[in-house]
Structure 1
Amino acid sequence: MTHPHRTSDPGVRARFLLAATAWTVLVAAVLVAVPLTFAGRLPDPVASHWGPSGRPDRSMPAAALTLFALVWLVVAGTGLVGLARARGEIRRATRAWFAAGLGWIGGFLIGIQAVTIAANLDRDGWSRAASLSWQVAVVVVGAFVLGALGRLAGRLGPDDAPPERERPGPLIDLDPGRRPVWVSTATAPWAVGLGVVASAAALSFAAAALWGLAPAGWSTALPLALAGVVGLAVSSVSVRIAPEGLTMAFGPLRWPSRTVRLDRIERAWVEWRSPVQVGGWGIRGLPGRATIMIRGGECLVVRYTSGGQLAVSVDDAETGAALLNALAARKTA
């Protein structure tokens, strides 16, 4: 028997993933087929960049036009795999924004490839390619239109109704004569690798600039250094629960850190969340309802007495939630 209050449809998830996969394949096919179709009418190399004047100033091999498809498959494929691995129903908001992203990125890549081919078509050389001006604006507007259509398509179908009340969460017995402390961490190896590689590259370019081997090295070193800092900052999180409250520290240096006092915590429980569901890695969401996403999986979810929520991906989240609930119950007893 169907539950009278159930608003979700088990088939929505499958249909949405099928439609997103079909769109991914269609865009990839277009990005490969169009350059191959016009290959005989394009110079080699082709113009690939236009300066402020609208005239071409850089080139690339004609075969590189098919790399648009590779970029698309990496971006869309990564998102699809992450969404497919997420457990449970895919909420309407997630479907809408994911479809909007697929529509915008796919439309933008097809548009950029199209105007590049059109500008180079039947030209004697890349330097004689047609100038570009208003065409770029058309591409951007078209991408936003496809993104809007994707968002509307993603909203089709019922949505899971959010629970009226959060689950009570686990609870453990505390020894009155002891001071309980629980510490756990979560680490994202990819973020550590990104931070280390970017930092090493930044140091290399900075050293080359200091020695005069690469005068423009600083312009490359600074963005790489920023990427390294960001990568290391979101590479890990350490959570400590004690009678004072919950403390979160980030990165290998455990800085910066944030403490939520125990008197601000109403209850805690465990949820399974993925980066796709919350919009990516790092600190996602808005103040009062945020997720600190280091890796997909179990998250410790805390409800504030003010009504807000904070979720953090951490190992052994059930034990942390049980201790928080026990501490909160003891404080109010």
Structure 2
Amino acid sequence: MTTAPRGEPRTPFLLAAAVWTVLVAAAVAALPLALAGRLPDPMATHWGASGASDRAMPIAAAAVRPACMWVVFALVSLGLAMRRRALNRAIVRAWTAAALAWCGVFFLGLQVVTVTANLGRARWQDASPVAWWIVPVVLAAFAAGLLARALARRGPDERPPAPAPRSDIALPPGRRTVWVSSVSAPLGLWLGIAALVAAVSLAAATLAGLSPTPWATSVVLAVVGLAGLALSTVSVKVGPEGLRVSFGPLRWPSRHVPLDRIERAWVEDRRPADVGGWGFRGLPGMATIMIRGGECLVVRYTSGGQLGISVDDAATGAALLNALVSAPRP
């Protein structure tokens, strides 16, 4: 086991997260058990669109099940954040704390709403409607997430060193120098294929009258599948024509940026937590195409905007792009 050097924020963060996880789990489980004498058994745990309760479970199950779900979520979140000393990054701590605070308050709020709706009722069918009670729970969860995110950003921020762009690329006269690299996410590819298969199957079943599923479901699945395929693979090409970024296994659609629109290029180490997740993150002019965490080719436009692309051997691509930009052109 490795010990974090003194001054690292990882240890106090993990300690605070563990305490928060235990407190939320204990509160969620203890609330219905402490009030069991004033609750119906089984108690209502689900409400339909009409507002009436339509599902119930024993008090013990209503206490243990959400507590276990919360603990599993917290452990998975902390496990993902602990990889590669990621908790030494301020932004990783911020998003992890926000997720834990949001979900912890949400689980606890739902349990309070559920118990309150059942309190003093003889049967679970008589539980009060809870539709409007969810609004303050969600607002409180967002407030807790924002507060936790702001607090967790405090402390040192250990940014991993980025590979230095190569500067030894020469452009032989009369020859065309090209660099091509790509990166893919197999999980995204298979999820996209699965969504498209489900969309076609549902559409065929609906057309044949074998399924009452509305057409909108097939359309949504098709859109999700196409988006998953497009963002499962990214290919980058640097050459005399400029920069070309192609998406998907068929290298379509693609985007071309001519050399005269590029100011310079460099390499940065970026993680999904840095940019807000996977896929195309940000806005046009200041975006990152995040397929996998690690080194990214970052291009600055002459207009001031930036585009980051997670791609292998980004240092070579940045060096060639800089050489092409600075070379005299007819």
TM-score of the aligned structures, taking structure 1 as reference length:
0.81
| 1:138 aligned partner | 136
**Between 36-45 and 321-330, the greater mean CA deviation after superposition:** 36-45
| Shift of residue 72, structure 1, vs aligned partner | 4.0
**Distance in 1, Cα, partners of 2:65 & 2:173:** 64
| 2:292 aligned partner | 295
Alignment pair present for 1:233 and 2:230: yes
| 2:3 aligned partner | none
Counterparts of 1:61-140 in structure 2 under 5 Å?
61-62=57-58, 63=61, 66-69=64-67, 71-73=69-71, 75-85=73-83, 90-121=88-119, 123-140=121-138
| 1:3 aligned partner | none
User: Residue by residue, what CA displacement relative to the aligned partner does 1:219-255 show, whole Å, maximum 9, x if unpaired?
Assistant: 4323322221221121111111111111111112322
Counterparts of 1:264-283 in structure 2 under 5 Å?
264-283=261-280
Is the contact made by 2:90 and 2:153 (CA closer than 8 Å) also made in structure 1?
Answer: yes
**Distance in 2, Cα, partners of 1:73 & 1:245:** 50
Match for 2:299: what amino acid?
V
In structure 2, relative to structure 1, the CA distance for the partners of 1:229 and 1:120 (3 Å cut) is farther
| Shift of residue 186, structure 1, vs aligned partner | 0.8
**Between 244-253 and 108-117, the greater mean CA deviation after superposition:** 108-117
Listed as ranges, the gaps of 5+ residues in structure 1 are 1-8
SS of aligned partner of 1:11:
coil
User: Residue by residue, what CA displacement relative to the aligned partner does 1:264-285 show, whole Å, maximum 9, x if unpaired?
Assistant: 2232222222212221001112
| 1:51 aligned partner | 49
**Distance in 1, Cα, partners of 2:66 & 2:219:** 28
In structure 2, relative to structure 1, the CA distance for the partners of 1:87 and 1:274 (3 Å cut) is farther
Counterparts of 1:1-333 in structure 2 under 5 Å?
10-34=7-31, 41-44=39-42, 46-52=44-50, 54-56=51-53, 58-59=54-55, 61-62=57-58, 63=61, 66-69=64-67, 71-73=69-71, 75-85=73-83, 90-121=88-119, 123-158=121-156, 169-171=165-167, 172-331=169-328
In structure 2, relative to structure 1, the CA distance for the partners of 1:116 and 1:95 (3 Å cut) is same
Is the contact made by 1:82 and 1:276 (CA closer than 8 Å) also made in structure 2?
Answer: no
| Shift of residue 202, structure 1, vs aligned partner | 1.8
User: Residue by residue, what CA displacement relative to the aligned partner does 1:135-187 show, whole Å, maximum 9, x if unpaired?
Assistant: 22221232133123213322333557999xx9972121222221011111111
SS of aligned partner of 1:258:
strand
Listed as ranges, the gaps of 5+ residues in structure 2 are 1-5
User: Residue by residue, what CA displacement relative to the aligned partner does 1:104-154 show, whole Å, maximum 9, x if unpaired?
Assistant: 232122212321233234544432211224422221232133123213322
Match for 2:150: what amino acid?
L
**Distance in 2, Cα, partners of 1:114 & 1:227:** 35
Is the contact made by 2:236 and 2:245 (CA closer than 8 Å) also made in structure 1?
Answer: yes
Match for 1:151: what amino acid?
R
User: Residue by residue, what CA displacement relative to the aligned partner does 1:21-58 show, whole Å, maximum 9, x if unpaired?
Assistant: 54345434544554566678444473412435x333x3
| 1:5 aligned partner | none
**Distance in 2, Cα, partners of 1:180 & 1:50:** 64
**Between 151-160 and 201-210, the greater mean CA deviation after superposition:** 151-160
User: Residue by residue, what CA displacement relative to the aligned partner does 1:265-310 show, whole Å, maximum 9, x if unpaired?
Assistant: 2322222222122210011123333211011122112233344322
Is the contact made by 2:290 and 2:310 (CA closer than 8 Å) also made in structure 1?
Answer: yes
**Distance in 1, Cα, partners of 2:158 & 2:284:** 23
Is the contact made by 1:47 and 1:129 (CA closer than 8 Å) also made in structure 2?
Answer: no
**Distance in 1, Cα, partners of 2:77 & 2:273:** 7
| Shift of residue 329, structure 1, vs aligned partner | 2.5
